[in-house]
Amino acid sequence: MHTFSRGASSTLMRDVANRTFNYPDFNKVMPSIYTCFMEEACQWRQIYKACMLALQLLEYRIKNSSERVVDDARGHVSTIKMLPTSTSTTKA
Instruction: State mean pLDDT over 69-80.
Output: 88
Domain carrying residue 55: 10-89
In this structure, is residue 23 part of a structural domain? yes
Total structural domains in the chain?
1
Could you give the CA distance from residue 21 to residue 67 in angstroms, rounded to a whole number? 9
In this structure, is residue 79 part of a structural domain? yes
In this structure, is residue 19 part of a structural domain? yes
In this structure, is residue 5 part of a structural domain? no
Could you give the CA distance from residue 16 to residue 20 in angstroms, rounded to a whole number? 7
Q: What is the pLDDT of residues 10-26, one digit of tens each?
A: 887 888 888 888 888 88
List helix spans (H) across 7-76: 10-19, 23-38, 44-64, 67-75
Could you tell me the pTM of the whole model?
Answer: 0.56
In this structure, is residue 1 part of a structural domain? no
Q: What is the pLDDT of residues 48-74, one digit of tens each?
A: 777 777 888 888 888 988 888 899 999
pLDDT averaged over every residue in the chain: 75
